[in-house]
Structure formats: structure tokens, C-alpha cells
């Protein structure tokens, strides 16, 4: 079964749509499928939903969080919705081919990376929570950004799971894993927000209401709104909650004006609602026309070698730069394999902690390199776009030349990243080859060779892009850095025969 993970990060920006689009573009650059974007100016919040394989989704989440930290200042932020960070909360949801426990590992790994690379405090919640008090998001968000900012440095109970006990303008970020939920709002036929707050108190679990309902009352677009998260719609159904709100609203002499979804909803939740209201007691899912057609025209399994097919196509991209990143990612995968085969073995107990660290680093590098596969292809598209600019006047020519150089310089920076990451993979591969499970030494050696090929291929792309610059001086630093990386990689690969001779006798 194809592995699919959904991520639904919430960003504290719903008014500057240009900022929201930049955040979405950052996620999209990792090669994920953007499923939904929902922005609300009253809440001043946007909810993004994207999906893909675990590596791509993890990388997309990091890139969007990084971009949000650059563009959103919580000191200047206000809105109806509670929040503690520019990227407020980042849940991972298993869709197919992956378990909730695996999503917990993704959340934990991402939390460490956010803290280390972006210097943002990170709290883990829901299934990923390390502290029972942090399972519920409401406990972490108590006091919001302003309250957390004043207490994080002095209150031990508010110390983050990862990162500094200090708040910058991007605030803190909550990362976790959970099952699919339904974000669902009901608007009342009144502007009296007190009624919405009272109804929310009645239905939410924390005040004795329904077990799988979280709710709050807000004033949105001049209307009282009951805002909800239904955390298990199969056990507390949407119709049950809606009819309870309708009954409670009638007590105050008001009704339901409309309802809305925030983000996406599982198909089963809608089917259950339809069955409930129409009283189709003997209904079976196989009676749905589209479901019957899907079974009759079952698709073939997805091509696991889709990237290779794209590479072989007679198109400019993806090309050598993407292939270099892909090779580095494969090498990182082999490092993870050898480290995993060494962990838990008595024979390698003395290096177990180092192997665990190596495994974590290799997985981060693998995901980063997979992201660069897409980014390299996108960077080439920017170069092609620059060449399409007009060149009719001298001003046109100057603008076009500058745009070409800027795009080409960017196209050189991407393979330089691939080379640097692949060099790091080489270092990890050398360690597992020296110290890891001897039965997997050939896999460690393969990782070294693959990563070295990735470095050389990436550096070649850097050299060619720099050589095509109109202003060669622009690429001098990038070129010298690339050559230095290549030299370091060469030294590592030259030492490999000695390692193989000493450990495996070959």
C-alpha cells in the first residue's frame, strides 16, 4: 500500500494573503500535494493541508514553518483564535500505509529539527506528547503567546520539549500526531457571542459534554460562532453535535444560520451524516455509485520508479542536479539501514547511542535531499522563465540579464546544498562502515560510493551554472565552497579501501 501522511499546519496569519501564499509555496517546493488552504481574517489564521509520503511531508512542514518564522511577527499579531506561534500547531495524520506511531516519530524528529535549525521552542502534543499534561493542546496554549512569553523563562512547567526556553517573534510551535478529526463551525442567528460560548461549554468534553468534542465560542464576521474540533467523528457524530447545538440555541431563542468546514473532512463522516438524517438504516457503503465504479476500475499500483521515468523523459528537468540529490537521499537511506541493523545488537552495544544519533541524522538528511530533488527541477524552470523576458530595449536587456544571473545563481545554490548534505551522508556512512553491523558493511560501502557520486554530480552542476553567469564574480564564493566540499569527499572515499581491508578483508 502506498504510504500517505497528511499534515495540517495552522499559521497565525489570515489577512495578508501574500504571506500565506509564500508559506504555501514553501511547502509545495518539497513535492507534496496541496489539498486545502483556508484563511480567516477574524481569527487571523490560516490552515493548510498537504499530503504525500512521510519524507516529503516532513520536509514540507519544516520549510513552511521556516518561512512563517521569517514573515510573521507575533508581537504585531492579533485575532480571535488562541495562538502561541507564527506556526501555531502542526499535526501529522496517518492516511494509508503508515501508523500513528510512525507519525509520532515524524513529529518528534521535526520538533528536534525546528529547535536546532530555527531556534524555536517546540512542544509535543496529542499522541506525540512526552508529558501527559501536554496531550491536550489547550494546556500548552494557556495564556497564549503573551502569557507563554512571560513565563517560559521562569516556570519549569512551561519548559519546551525541545529548543530554548526563550520566545522570539515567531513564538513557539506545537507539533504532534493524531487521528483524523473534523474542524467544524456552526454560526448562530445572533451576534451575541455569550450564547455561542455557553453552547460551546455545554457540548465540549472538558466541561462534561461529548467525549470527542473540543469547542469554543467566537464572534466571526458579526455572527456568534461555535467553533469545534470533533476528534473522533465515528464515536461522537456530526449530526449528534449539530442537533444538540440546535436544541441549545433554541433555549436562547436563536437558531443555526449556517455551518462550515475548516479544511477537509473524511468521506465516512459525510456518509454517516447523510445516513443519520435520511434514516437509511440498511445502507451499505457498496451502494455508493462512485465506490462501486472505483472497485470495478481499480487502478494499477503506483509506479515506484516514477522519478526514474521522469528523468528518462526528453525534458530539461528533472536533470543532473535532481539526480545528484536523489543519489544522496538513497545513500542516506542505506546509512539508516545499517544503523538500524546495529541498534539493539549486543555486539555493537558500545556504539548504540552513536548509532541512534546517526540514524536520526541520516533520516533528516534523506528528507532534505528528497526535497532538493524537486527544488533543483524548479530552479531550472526559473532560469528558463528569465530567458523568456523581453530584450527589445537596452533597459529590457539589463533587466533580463540581471534576472538570468539571479536565477542561475539560485540554480547553482541548490546543487551546492545537495553536495554539502551528501558530504554529511558520506561522513555518516563512513562511521557505520567502520563501526556498524559487519553483515551490512557492503551497504555502508555502497552508501559511501553513492554519496560520493552525488557530491561529484552536484558539484559539476554548480561549476556549469557558475560558468554560465554573465557576472562571474557573483558565483566565486559558491564555486570555491563547492570545490572544497568535493575535496573533502575525495579524501573520505580514498580512505574506504583501508576500512574494507581491515574490517572485511577485501
Report cis status (omega within 30 of 0) of the bond before 318. Answer: yes
> Which among 43, 77, 81, 205 is annotated as catalytic?
81
Beta bridge partners of 50: 7, 34
Distance CA 284, CA 275 (A): 10
Please list the helix, strand and coil fractions of the chain in percent, rounded to the nearest 5, in that order.
60, 15, 25
Distance CA 300, CA 73 (A): 47
**Which triple of cell numbers denotes residue 176?**
504532534
CB atoms within 10 A of CB 38: 20
Distance CA 494, CA 480 (A): 21
Sole residue written with cell 489539498 = 35
Q: What is the DSSP letter of 402?
A: H
Return the HEC string of 164-183: CCCCCCCECEEEEECCCCEE
Name the 3-class secondary structure at 170.
Answer: coil
**Which triple of cell numbers denotes residue 323?**
539526480
81 assigned to active site: yes
Q: Which residue, among 411, 410, 391, has the nearest Cα to 401 in the 3D structure? A: 391
251 Cβ neighbours under 8 A, 6+ residues apart: none
Distance CA 123, CA 159 (A): 9
Residues marked active site are found at: 81
Amino acid at each position: 500500500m502506498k504510504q500517505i501522511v497528511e499534515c495540517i499546519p495552522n499559521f497565525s496569519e489570515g489577512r495578508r494573503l501574500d504571506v500565506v501564499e509564500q508559506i504555501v509555496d514553501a511547502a509545495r517546493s518539497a513535492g507534496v500535494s496541496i489539498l486545502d488552504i483556508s484563511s480567516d481574517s477574524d481569527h487571523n489564521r490560516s490552515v493548510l493541508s498537504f499530503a504525500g509520503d512521510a519524507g516529503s511531508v516532513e520536509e514540507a512542514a519544516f520549510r513552511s514553518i521556516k518561512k512563517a518564522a521569517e514573515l510573521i511577527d507575533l508581537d504585531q499579531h492579533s485575532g480571535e483564535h488562541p495562538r502561541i506561534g507564527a506556526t501555531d500547531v502542526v499535526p501529522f495524520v496517518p492516511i494509508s500505509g503508515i501508523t500513528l506511531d510512525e507519525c509520532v516519530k515524524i513529529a518528534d524528529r521535526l520538533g528536534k529539527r525546528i529547535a536546532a535549525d530555527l531556534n524555536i521552542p517546540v512542544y509535543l502534543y496529542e499522541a506525540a506528547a512526552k508529558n501527559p499534561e501536554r496531550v491536550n493542546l489547550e494546556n500548552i496554549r494557556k495564556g497564549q503567546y503573551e502569557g507563554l512569553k512571560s513565563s517560559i523563562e521562569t516556570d519549569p512547567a512551561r519548559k519546551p520539549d525541545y529548543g530554548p526556553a526563550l520566545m522570539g517573534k515567531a513564538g513557539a510551535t506545537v507539533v504532534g500526531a493524531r487521528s483524523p478529526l473534523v474542524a467544524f463551525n456552526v454560526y448562530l442567528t445572533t451576534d451575541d457571542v455569550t450564547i455561542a460560548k455557553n453552547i460551546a461549554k455545554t457540548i465540549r468534553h472538558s466541561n462534561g459534554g461529548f467525549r470527542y468534542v473540543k469547542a469554543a465560542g467566537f464572534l466571526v464576521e458579526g455572527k456568534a460562532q461555535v467553533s469545534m474540533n470533533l476528534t473522533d467523528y465515528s464515536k461522537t457524530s456530526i449530526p449528534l453535535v449539530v442537533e444538540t447545538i440546535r436544541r441549545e440555541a433554541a433555549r436562547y431563542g436563536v437558531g443555526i444560520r449556517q455551518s462550515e468546514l475548516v479544511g477537509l473532512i473524511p468521506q465516512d463522516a459525510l456518509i454517516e451524516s447523510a445516513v443519520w438524517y435520511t434514516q437509511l438504516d440498511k445502507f451499505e457503503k457498496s451502494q455508493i455509485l462512485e465506490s462501486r465504479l472505483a472497485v470495478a476500475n481499480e487502478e494499477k499500483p503506483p509506479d515506484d520508479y516514477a522519478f526514474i521515468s521522469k528523468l528518462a523523459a526528453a525534458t530539461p528537468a528533472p536533470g543532473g542536479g535532481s539526480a545528484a540529490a536523489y543519489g544522496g537521499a538513497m545513500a542516506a537511506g542505506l546509512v539508516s539501514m545499517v544503523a538500524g541493523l546495529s541498534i539493539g545488537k549486543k555486539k555493537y552495544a558500545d556504539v548504540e547511542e552513536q548509532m541512534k544519533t546517526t540514524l536520526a541524522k541520516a533520516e533528516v538528511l534523506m528528507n532534505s535531499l528528497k526535497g532538493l530533488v524537486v527544488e533543483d527541477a524548479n530552479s531550472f524552470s526559473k532560469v528558463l522563465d528569465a530567458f523568456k523576458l523581453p530584450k527589445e530595449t537596452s533597459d529590457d536587456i539589463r533587466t533580463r540579464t540581471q534576472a538570468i544571473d539571479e536565477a542561475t545563481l539560485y540554480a547553482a545554490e541548490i546543487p551546492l546544498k545537495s553536495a554539502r548534505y551528501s558530504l554529511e551522508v558520506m561522513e555518516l556512512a563512513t562511521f557505520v562502515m567502520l563501526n556498524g553491523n559487519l553483515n551490512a558493511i557492503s551497504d555502508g560501502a555502497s552508501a559511501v560510493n553513492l554519496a560520493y557520486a552525488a557530491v561529484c554530480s552536484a558539484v559539476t552542476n554548480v561549476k556549469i551554472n557558475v560558468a554560465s553567469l554573465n557576472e562571474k564574480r557573483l558565483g566565486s564564493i559558491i564555486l570555491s565552497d563547492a570545490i572544497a566540499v568535493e575535496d573533502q569527499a575525495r579524501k573520505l572515499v580514498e580512505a574506504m579501501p583501508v576500512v574494507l581491508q581491515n574490517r572485511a578483508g577485501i
